[in-house]
């Protein structure tokens, strides 16, 4: 069955327009995401936004680019299709759909395995970016040994008994302090088995509560979402008398 010039020309025009539209959509998604980050002034708010949205928006953009590739690929070999008939038109359609599906799963695996490493580097940079106090002074991030004196007892206990971490920033000129809360289970670590950043806390367990006479034991259970490696890590908790600010 022959393919008319009018049909093939209309098809190619539609495919070209679709490919450019999805390329534009992908670029707009990335620009929108970066613009949102630039609009957020507070570094902790930037951190939370990136942590919740970075991978999602990047995945949306990649899907748009895959769709653009599918549309563009359906303009190839039009002359052969015109000469050979509709059979090759359907063959090309089948091949492009197949390659798009393969591209989807490859991209999904790459983003799930490799992209979290980039996100964690960006998050660490935001977390350690010097804060500025309301008076315009550069604040100092306190060490673990220093920060307990500026935290409430409930925060100290939460940091000890749960997958929670607090950062304390201090304006040494005015005494203004800012305490930021981070949830460890939201972040991936490098898996000791496969080496990918897909290793997360799935469960935490207080094996032994600390007392004024004895140390305690806290266990964090990790699972790798890629290779399914599981690991339990122990954390010794200081005696209660040592935790009092």
State pLDDT tens for residues 68-123. Answer: 999 999 998 887 877 777 888 888 999 999 999 999 999 988 888 888 888 989 99
In angstroms, the CA 177 to CA 159 distance is: 18
* pTM of the complete model: 0.76
Structure confidence at residue 244 as a pLDDT band (50, 70, 90): very low
Instruction: Please name the residue ranges forming H helices in the chain.
Output: 5-39, 43-73, 78-84, 86-113, 115-128, 144-147, 153-161, 240-243
As beta bridge partners, residue 200 has 223
Task: Determine the average pLDDT of the residues in 150-164.
Answer: 80
Higher pLDDT, 196 or 224: 224
d(CA 34, CA 20): 21
For residue 27, the model assigns a pLDDT of: 98
Higher pLDDT, 188 or 142: 142
Q: Beta strand pairing status for 230-237 and 216-224?
A: antiparallel
Q: What pLDDT shows up at residue 173?
A: 94
Distance CA 114, CA 104 (A): 15
The pLDDT of residue 40 is 95
Report domain extents, the chain: 5-120, 133-181, 188-245
Both tokens assigned to 97: 């759909």
Q: How confident is the model at residue 1 (pLDDT cuts 50, 70, 90)?
A: low
Q: Is the pLDDT of residue 136 over 80?
A: yes
Burial group, residue 144, by CB count within 10 angstroms (0-12, 13-18, 19+): exposed
Q: Evaluate if residue 21 carries a pLDDT over 60.
A: yes
Alpha-carbon dihedral sign for residues 198, 202, 208, 209: positive
**What's the pLDDT score for residue 59?**
94
Residue 210 has pLDDT above 70, yes or no: yes
Mean pLDDT taken over the chain: 87
């Amino acid at each position: 069955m022959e393919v008319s010039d009018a049909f093939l020309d209309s098809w190619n025009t539609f495919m070209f327009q679709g490919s450019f539209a999805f390329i534009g959509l992908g670029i707009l998604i990335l620009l929108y995401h970066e613009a949102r980050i630039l609009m957020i002034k507070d570094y902790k708010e930037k951190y939370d936004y990136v942590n919740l949205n970075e991978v999602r928006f990047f995945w949306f953009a990649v899907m748009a680019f895959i769709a653009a590739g599918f549309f563009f690929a359906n303009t190839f070999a039009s002359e052969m299709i015109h000469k050979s008939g509709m059979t090759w038109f359907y063959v090309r359609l089948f091949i492009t759909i197949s390659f798009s599906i393969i591209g989807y799963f490859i991209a999904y695996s790459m983003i799930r395995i490799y992209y979290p490493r980039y996100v964690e580097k960006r998050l660490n940079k935001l977390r350690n970016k010097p804060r500025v106090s309301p008076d315009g002074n550069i604040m100092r991030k306190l060490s673990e040994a220093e920060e307990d004196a500026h935290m409430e007892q409930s925060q100290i206990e939460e940091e000890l008994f749960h997958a929670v971490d607090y950062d304390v920033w201090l304006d040494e000129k005015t005494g203004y302090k800012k305490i930021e809360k981070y949830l460890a289970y939201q972040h991936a670590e490098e898996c000791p088995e496969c080496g990918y950043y897909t290793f997360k806390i799935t469960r935490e367990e207080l094996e032994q509560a600390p007392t004024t006479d004895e140390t305690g034991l806290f266990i964090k259970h990790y699972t790798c979402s890629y290779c399914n490696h599981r690991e339990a890590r122990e954390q010794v908790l200081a005696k209660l008398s040592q935790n009092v600010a």
